Amino acid sequence: MKYIAKSLPKKGKLKNGDHFGFYEDEQVQIACVADGVGGNACDWKASEQACEDLVYFYKNEFADLGVREGIAQSLRKTFARIYWTKGQCEGMLTTLVAVIIDRQSREYFYFGIGDSLILKFEEGAIEELTPECEFRIQPDLLPSRVKSGGSLKEGTCFALMSDGVSTNRKNYKQEIALVLGSENWESKFDEIMYLNQLTQFDDMTLLLLKD
């Protein structure tokens, strides 16, 4: 799948509390969005670290377990490291949502922590894959958050976003669907993000995956 993404800090804010990541190799594609909790310390570091660690632990420690189990164990270790942070960033917290594609089997997996969102666009329907859940979950329980979505159908697309997007514009789902259905989706994506900036009240991040 190909992707496009943009992350914009709230106007006047020095550091963006959101972060996104995309990684691919011959076996897997990993797309993720994180939104650091602004009321806690180091929101910018929490989101950046979560996206980077998820990929790092998968590649370097858990890839041999297979895609689903490897991601599950990477998720556990990613949040354990956040929870155990000491010093000036102690107490930092973040949302994290991800879509993971097994490129060999064409099966996809996903998970959501916190109030960031994944939407699936398939055969004209829009489905929310990640209802809001708690931000702080015992690390040993996190692997069970990784779900299998089954085999990818032709034309299936995904949108991963922070709540700076999902709570900003009333018709955001329909606007994203227009982007994904456009032949010039990069230009349409920029147009939608510009419209979001006009009413922006929070850091906002949007990552789209298109088959």
Asked if residue 149 has pLDDT above 80, the reply is yes
Per-residue tokens: 204: 């906002």
Q: Where residue 138 falls among pLDDT bands split at 50, 70, 90?
A: confident
61-106 pLDDT tens trace: 999 999 999 999 999 999 999 999 999 999 999 999 999 999 999 9
Contacts of 118 (CB under 8 A, 6+ apart): 97, 99, 110, 112, 128, 129, 130, 158, 159, 160
Buried-state track 152-187, b at ≥16 Cβ within 10 A, e below 16 = beeebbbbbbbbbbbebbeebbebbbebbeeeebee
Higher pLDDT, 109 or 133: 109
Average pLDDT of the chain, as a whole number: 94
Mean pLDDT of 130-147: 83
Higher pLDDT, 177 or 131: 177
pTM of the model: 0.95
186-196 pLDDT tens trace: 999 999 999 99
Asked if residue 147 has pLDDT above 80, the reply is yes
Contacts of 209 (CB under 8 A, 6+ apart): 1, 2, 3, 29, 31, 99, 157, 158, 159, 160
Distance CA 66, CA 143 (A): 13
CA distances from 44 to 38, 93, 95, 131, 180 (A): 8, 10, 12, 23, 29
Per-residue tokens: 81: 């490291």
Q: Where residue 135 falls among pLDDT bands split at 50, 70, 90?
A: low
- Name the nearest CA neighbour of 155 among 181, 179, 183: 181
162-172 pLDDT tens trace: 999 999 999 99
